[in-house]
Structure 1
């Protein structure tokens, strides 16, 4: 497994999408794109406390989770995912790549290969919801996001990974507050 530093993206509030003060983290080539990559992601995520894993795809509409941080690992094929809502960065991911998504950060599938599959999991197996960015819900969503505890382990590298220190270095502020 690759131990390179993740790419970090900071996404500002965008309409009814709160996004997060915490950076989105993209891990390139976390695993070689051969063999049972899905099982490799499931095992490493679970070993580091990111559980309740599933295998499927990414919704083709902007959505986010207000009750959990999520990690996604591309197990087959490739996908382009837009993060942060309309106008946000579109990031190409391929088999072996992973992304840690803070609670509140929107994501949607902008196109995928025919063989695309992704593995998802949640920090400490937290229950998750699906929100679509209704501006009338922002206050309630801000409270839910603020209640999500920071992960203590990186989903790929555990205690030695970058996520806990990168997310701890960001002052907590309610979504929508710059």
Structure 2
């Protein structure tokens, strides 16, 4: 599997908390030749509770779970990290691993864009937008989300385990 790893750290912007310790990871080309294998690979590596769809066109995050997103088809421009984050171009075969609290939003999608999402251990997830009423509880919840046992793409080895060391 030939891929390029990028890591991104984001600060709390007052609305989107992001993760104070763990970087967002982008595995460009992880499934370059076989995007359709992403869901089965996630499941095999105990990233479950999956779905296939798109990415919401508004800033949101999950305060109680990490999330892996594999681009199954098409391409898109995503904003990761809230309003002050990074615009990231993704295409079929790319994987994003977002630690709890990391904002993400669809800016533009090409024809056929779809992603598969999954969560470590099949965790249930919430969807938050940074409303004041949910932020305080989410800040505590984000700190308590356990580190995954496996990388969603590489299993017991891989970039996630090397980059997500402490909380």
Asked if these proteins are the same fold (TM beyond 0.5), I'd say yes
Distance 1:164 1:142 in 2: 23
**Equivalent of residue 129 in structure 2, options 122, 127, 132:** 132
- TM-superposition CA deviations, 1:98-139 (whole Å, max 9, x none): 000000000000000121111110011000000001134322
After TM superposition, list the pairs within 5 Å mapping 1:136-147 onto structure 2.
136-147=133-144
Kindly indicate whether the alpha-carbon contact (under 8 Å) linking 1:17 and 1:135 is maintained by their aligned counterparts in 2. no
Aligned residues: 166
Distance 2:75 2:8 in 1: 20
Distance 1:68 1:5 in 2: 25
Q: Which runs of 5 or more residues in structure 2 are unaligned?
A: none
- TM-superposition CA deviations, 1:138-169 (whole Å, max 9, x none): 2211121122110111110111201022111x
SS of 1:11's equivalent in the other structure is coil
Residue 17 of structure 2 corresponds to which residue in structure 1?
Answer: 18
Residue 49 of structure 2 corresponds to which residue in structure 1?
Answer: 52
Question: Which shifted more, 127-136 or 108-117?
Answer: 127-136
Aligned Cα root-mean-square deviation (Å): 1.3
Q: Which runs of 5 or more residues in structure 1 are unaligned?
A: 173-178
Residue 28 of structure 2 corresponds to which residue in structure 1?
Answer: 28
Distance 2:115 2:83 in 1: 22
After TM superposition, list the pairs within 5 Å mapping 1:36-75 onto structure 2.
37-38=35-36, 40-75=37-72
Deviation at 1:5, TM superposition (A): 5.3
SS of 2:140's equivalent in the other structure is helix
Kindly indicate whether the alpha-carbon contact (under 8 Å) linking 2:128 and 2:134 is maintained by their aligned counterparts in 1. no
Question: Which shifted more, 17-26 or 136-145?
Answer: 136-145
- TM-superposition CA deviations, 1:54-83 (whole Å, max 9, x none): 110000000000111000000100011101
Distance 1:47 1:165 in 2: 19
